[in-house]
């Protein structure tokens, strides 16, 4: 398993210290979050692609990791991901190139994981 995927899975297993505060807003957000990705006028995969684009433009590596894993599990193709990356480059400008490069390497990590699992 690749380094970024291993680190992400370890962080998810540890859980969030925010949820341990006892403040209900953190629990409620955790309940609300998946509702935004439910099938409706848009498919879950389309919603995840939109979320990935927003994450790239906002330069949130944790969010990108999460959404790329979700897209990987939903069967998004390499072509779909790279078309999305092209759009985010146009929208975000050259400042997104470093995060796109990291994201492309992570896509390779996910593809290697898929190949190793079969």
Domain residue ranges in the chain: 3-12+45-117
Q: Please give the pLDDT value at position 46.
A: 97
Question: Would the CA dihedral through 84, 90, 92, 94 be positive or negative?
Answer: positive
* Mean pLDDT to the nearest integer, 43-67: 96
**Which CATH entry fits the domain spanning 3-12+45-117: 3.90.580.10, 1.10.3130.10, 1.20.1290.10, 3.40.50.10490?**
1.20.1290.10
The percent of the chain in helix, strand and coil, each rounded to the nearest 5, is 80, 0, 20
Mean pLDDT, rounded, for 100-114: 93
Contact (Cβ atoms closer than 8 angstroms) between residue 21 and residue 59: no
pLDDT of residue 15: 81
pLDDT band, residue 113 (cuts 50/70/90) = confident
Q: What is the pLDDT of residue 40?
A: 96
Residue 26 has pLDDT above 90, yes or no: no
């Amino acid at each position: 398993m690749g380094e970024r995927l291993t680190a992400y899975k370890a962080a998810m297993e540890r859980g969030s210290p925010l949820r341990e505060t006892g403040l209900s807003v953190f629990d409620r957000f955790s309940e609300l979050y998946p509702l935004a990705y439910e099938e409706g006028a848009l498919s879950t995969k389309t919603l995840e692609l939109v979320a990935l684009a927003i994450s790239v433009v906002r330069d949130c590596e944790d969010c990108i990791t999460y959404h790329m894993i979700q897209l990987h599990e939903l069967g998004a193709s390499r072509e779909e991901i790279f078309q999305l990356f092209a759009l985010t480059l146009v929208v975000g400008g050259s400042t997104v190139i470093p995060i796109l490069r990291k994201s492309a390497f992570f896509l390779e990590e996910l593809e290697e994981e898929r190949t190793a699992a079969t």
